[in-house]
Amino acid sequence: AFMIQEEYVDQVSGLSDKKFQKPNEFSPPFRFGTVPNGSTERNIRNNYRDMHAYMTSFHQKNVDEALYSLKTGKLDAFIYDAAVLNYMAGRDEGC
């Protein structure tokens, strides 16, 4: 006997993805955030004003808080520097 387990993972194609641009069109709404006052937030604020306005209620204090929020289902996605995210993912067995 074999058991095949399929895990559903939300994937996004980039910042223009509908999940980021129209998060309330999903049920439940797609929740995402970043750490405020950094280059990631500044880029989103300057280029995606509606997206930035929505995500401010999901700001995270730091990357560790974001990972906890992702694991506990409080966030669906965390937007941050790719090098930092890759490093953190490599350190986390469950990521």
Residue 65 located in a structural domain: yes
Tell me, what amino acid is at 45?
Answer: R
The residue segments making up the domain with residue 60 are 18-91
Query: For residue 92, what pLDDT is reported?
Result: 79
Residue 3 located in a structural domain: no
Q: What is the rounded distance in angstroms from the CA atom of residue 54 to the CA atom of residue 52?
A: 5
Q: What is the rounded distance in angstroms from the CA atom of residue 82 to the CA atom of residue 8?
A: 22
Residues 28-61 have pLDDT tens digits of 999 999 999 999 999 999 999 999 999 999 999 9
Which CATH number fits the domain that encloses residue 80? Answer: 3.40.190.10
